[in-house]
Structure 1
Amino acid sequence: MADSDAGIWKLRWDTAVAEGAGYLLVAIVCLASELLIWGLSRTLAAARLEFFSTIVGMALVFALSTACWVVWKRTDGFYRRWLKARVDFINAHLGAGFAIPMIMLDQDEMLNGGEIGRVIGSFIATNIVSWVAVFLLSVAAIGGVTQLTSQSPIRKGFVSSEKSIAPTSSDDGSSSADFEVEAQTQQATGSRDGLLISIPRATDTEKQLESGAPAQGLSNTNEQAEPSCASVAESSTWNFFSRHFPILLSLALIFTVGIPLTITIHEERLFDGFTLWFIWISSVRSQRAFKHSKICTCSAPLKRGLATLMNPVLLTTLLMMGYTRAKASVLGPGGLARTLQKFSGGTHLYALWTAAVNGNEIPSNPTGWFGAGDAALSILECGILVWGFKLSECRRQIFSLTGLVAIILCTAAAAANVFLSVIASRAMGLQVTEALSFAARSTTLALAKPATEAIGGNSPVNAMLVVSNGILGQLVYPFILDKLGVSKEHDENDRDGETGLAETQQTATIIPTTPVEASSSSNSNSSSTPSTDSPVTVAAGIAIGINGAAMGVSYLYETRSRAAPYAALSMVVFGVMTVVFTTVEPFKGTLISLASR
């Protein structure tokens, strides 16, 4: 019994160490991302295009990872073993940064009732027109191109050329079964908050858990004593803490570190940060638990609707707004402005580093303040940059005729949105500055702010439009995408999945809270996967990338949708062209002239 207990605790210790090492790798990836963004911002500073550094960084990561694959095919195996789980983890939690612009809205910056009504009216009108028009035009264009190429006598040669230019990662042993098993493993464990350096096959893990041995392989397992499974699960307290430790840790840090430092030395950043972490992770876990619970199982539409309303970004925004306002009420007059100032200084991390190195002072943030909200926005920047790896996973879709058509459609959509949205907003009675805010109404936050400032738009209104677009999209995606039949498989491959399946079961993934058996998907192969994406899937990705921006892309990657790479490509092209049309003459002058009429 003593040997059995020692084995159980050794297994627990090994799991905890692996978990900690996984989080350390996440921190390293984030730090490396910020350093890359900083270097690119210095390179782009001469042209005053520092705000492009995150997008350029994503493109650079995509180019480098693809080039590495071309030079050495085994780099995909390294990526999947060491980096993929970390990239997925960052993507799963970058949503906390989406809430910051809404939290930072000050009452002094709010519009009056009539202006708010006109803004909402313009928001609804432009969204309906943009979503429907972009989707239908994309379906027609992609469908037409697909039909023409399928009837072309050189179709066979084109497909062969396409695969040679941008092959998938299947050549080095990865397959569609990888994604199916990983997704089902994540669903079974109910958590994406744990990261292992390496985890053995599910069947091996079961035997190791039963034996109380550390994760070292079957040979050691068979030599161990075999206590019952109850000996591992004898401690409900351990299971509870291991399953909910992110929530419990953040809550403990609030009371043991955050509040004492706030009271004693008036250091509020840790208090704000731990509170944001607690609210975000609790919202994520609550939605996930509700989806897998037996509550409202009698009505699937009701349960789906309630789960959608439990959107973590929406809940975090509302709860953090309540937190900051409650905190401000304790401080008395001027408390809200002070609370928001402490929460976020509104300066990018790369700008603070540059100012510190050069010894300069930032006019909008002379003290160089970096708050909890700024940290969340930095994680958002890192998340967008590491999407370069996600794009590389789907390089076949990017380097294709469909990808080229998507680029053309996004360029046209950017021009139409910039000019027609402003004209429509003015026609509905908005003032010039508010109307100009619609020029970048659905561009990612990294580009929307400089684009709006360049033409003299209302930045708080623009931030509200961008975040509202993203939240609205995340609320309707579960219904619309299911109705459209958009595929949930994220990758295309041409080989049987056995090799990839074995690799996935042994590579970095989530720490299972209970033994997880390999599913029947191990027998699946890519023959059941469509050789090309349907026009509806591609069009959905383009429409979400244009209208949903980063929040839409994040959702598609989170749900492992095949539309995700098209959405990421569309977001980048649409955002870049929006900046071009709002900052480069003669487009900028024409836009301001139209808004001033």
Structure 2
Amino acid sequence: MLNRDHISKAADVPRIAGAFVYLATGVEMPFDAMYFTLIWTCSLQLLRSLKVSSGLLRFPRLRLALTLFANPVLLTSGFGTVYFWIKTFFANATIDQVVTNFRRHRTFAEAVIHTAEDHNPGAHIGAGDLSCLILDAGILCLGMKMFEYRHELASSFYSIVSTCAIIATTSIFVNVAIARRIGLESDEALAFAAKSVTIALGVPTMQQVNGSMTLMSALCILSGMLFQMSGDYLFRILRINDQKVRKQPRNGSGSDTEKGPRERSGKDDRSGEETKIVAAGVTVGINAAAMGTAHLIERDSTAMAYSALSMTIFGGMTVALTALPGVSYLLVFLASR
């Protein structure tokens, strides 16, 4: 059977190959891709090791702090930033050139189209462009998970849609007004209109209102990262039992008169737990979007499907609202007051 050592050795092969390709041809994409793959896998392994470490059980506060700051997105972003600045020094290039070479197009389809035109993949495909394929696969996984919970989603569909519609309609105006009130520039304030959607949905929103895509992307990542760092702790404080548990076998003893009140009490408890799970899923989907939903999948949470659905509906409504001329004009007016 495969163990971690076998997997680690197998993962070393493409990393070494990427280094040889870079040294032999000067093409940076394979080495960039393998570097970020290495950092990401090591970050995931570090976080999992900290969570199951028996030595840290005696120091719960230290364990909590380490697991909070060992977030894979945070570590990968940090080491990736250092890597980019090191490349600027050795390649004698600006940071803008390094980042542009890392991801040359907005979508992988654009990269493929340009490659087909001039047959030069090295000029159009960077390591960041390849990551789009992973994101597409992640969206497919979300769809499969939502199909798995289709019956639960159907029973709460109208409440989720109405909640997302109300919050999407109010938040885009309130967020922009508050951001402008605290002294941000017009384009920066407009970035808050899409602060809680995925980056893929935030881009067309910013194009409609000419907002800052850089700040919008940072806000989307930050909100998801904050939930990944503190989500388990918050769920534990709020006593949200969202993880799957095995059903206990029924005990055949007891009279019918004894079972009646117990069954009703059990149904009430389950109904209350389900309501809390739906509310938690909608809250995560609206505020932490894809990164929050991914964290719920990792913890095998039953709130994952509600989070994925609310994330999709909330993001779609945000894009649809900002596409309306009257709404976009009003947002620009609020950001310029």
Both structures adopt the same fold (TM-score exceeding 0.5): yes
Asked whether 1:253 is paired with 2:7, we answer no
Q: How does 1:481-560 map to 2 (within 5 A)?
A: 481-490=235-244, 530=270, 533-560=273-300
TM-score if structure 2 supplies the norm length? Answer: 0.87
Distance 1:244 1:488, change over 3 A: farther
Q: Distance in 2 between matches of 1:366 and 1:249?
A: 26
Residues 492 and 579 (structure 1 numbering): CA distance in 2 closer, same or farther, change over 3 Å? farther
Structure 1 residue 393 corresponds to structure 2 residue 154: no
CA distance in 1, matches of 2:98, 2:7: 26
Alignment of 1:230-309 (within 5 A): 242-254=3-15, 256-309=16-69
Conservation of the 8 A alpha-carbon contact between 1:411 and 1:574: yes
Q: Determine the C-alpha separation between the residues in 2 that align with 1:384 and 1:496.
A: 36
Deviation at 1:268, TM superposition (A): 0.9
Which consecutive residues of structure 2, in runs of 5 or more, have no partner in the other structure?
251-265
Distance in 2 of aligned mates of 1:388 and 1:491: 23
Match of 1:336 among 95, 98, 123: 95
User: Among 565, 572, 587, which residue is 2:305 paired with?
Assistant: 565
Q: CA RMSD in A?
A: 2.7
Q: Could you list the runs of 5+ residues in structure 1 that have no partner in the other structure?
A: 1-14, 17-241, 498-526
The offset of 1:329, in angstroms, is: 1.4
- 1:251–1:274 CA contact under 8 A, matched in 2: no
Q: Percent identity?
A: 29
Counterpart residue identity of residue 396, structure 1? H
Return the offset for 1:429. 1.0
1:430 aligns with 2:184: yes
Alignment partner of 1:345 is 2:100: no
Which of 150, 158, 166 is the equivalent residue of 1:404? 158
Instruction: Tell me which residue corresponds to 1:580.
Output: 320
Q: Classify the secondary structure of the residue corresponding to 1:489.
A: coil
Structure showing the higher helix proportion among its residues: 2
1:442 to 185, 193, 196: 196
Inter-CA distance 594–492: structure 2 relative to 1 (3 Å threshold): farther
Q: CA deviation at 1:314?
A: 1.1
Q: Aligned partners of 1:565 and 1:577: how far apart in 2?
A: 18
Within 5 A, what are the aligned runs for 1:76-475? 242-254=3-15, 256-332=16-92, 334-354=93-113, 359=117, 369-400=124-155, 402-475=156-229
Measured after TM superposition, the shift of residue 328 of structure 1 is 1.7
Shift of 1:533: 4.2
The aligned runs of 1:10-29 (5 Å cut-off) are 15=1
Residue 343 of structure 1: CA displacement? 1.5
Deviation per residue, 1:36-60 (Å, 9 max, x gap) = xxxxxxxxxxxxxxxxxxxxxxxxx
Q: 1:252: Cα distance to partner?
A: 4.4
Aligned residue pairs total 321
User: Residues 486 and 562 of structure 1 are in contact (CA less than 8 Å); yes or no, is this contact kept in structure 2?
Assistant: no
Shift of 1:299: 2.2
Deviation at 1:412, TM superposition (A): 0.8
1:380 CA displacement? 1.5
Distance between the aligned counterparts of 2:61 and 2:45, measured in 1?
21
Three-state SS of the structure 1 residue aligned to 2:110 is: helix
Q: Is the 8 A contact 1:474 1:555 kept in 2?
A: yes
Residue 285 of structure 1 deviates from its aligned partner by 0.8
Q: Is the 8 A contact 1:258 1:271 kept in 2?
A: yes
CA contact (8 A) 1:440 1:451 kept: yes
Query: Deviation at 1:416?
Result: 1.4
Q: Bigger radius of gyration, 1 or 2?
A: 1
TM-superposition CA deviations, 1:475-524 (whole Å, max 9, x none):
1101101111122335999x979xxxxxxxxxxxxxxxxxxxxxxxxxxx
Deviation at 1:531, TM superposition (A): 5.9
SS in 2 for 1:297: helix
Structure-2 separation of matches of 1:339 and 1:373: 11
Q: How does the TM-score come out when normalised to structure 1?
A: 0.50
Residue pair 1:542, 1:570 contacting (<8 A) in 2 also: yes
By how many angstroms is 1:434 displaced?
0.5
CA distance in 2, matches of 1:261, 1:443: 38
> Take 1:302 and 1:571, find their aligned partners in 2: how far apart are those partners?
33
Write the distance in 2 (CA, Å) between the matches of 1:381 and 1:271: 22
User: 8 Å contact 1:486–1:563 — kept in the other structure?
Assistant: no
For residues 103-159 of structure 1, give each alpha carbon's deviation from its aligned partner in whole angstroms, at most 9, with x where no partner exists.
xxxxxxxxxxxxxxxxxxxxxxxxxxxxxxxxxxxxxxxxxxxxxxxxxxxxxxxxx
CA deviations 1:257-311 (Å, max 9, x no partner) are: 2222222211111101111111111111111112112222212232123112111
Cα distance in 1, alignment partners of residues 147 and 190 from structure 2: 35
- CA-CA distance at 1:354 after TM superposition: 4.7
Q: Which has the higher contact order (CA 8 A, sep 6+)?
A: 1
Over 3 Å counting, the alpha-carbon distance change for 1:356 and 1:344 in structure 2 is: closer
Tell whether the 8 Å contact from 1:443 to 1:466 is kept in structure 2 after alignment.
yes
After superposition, give the CA deviation of every residue in 1:538-559 in whole Å (9 maximum; x if it has no partner): 2111111001000001111111
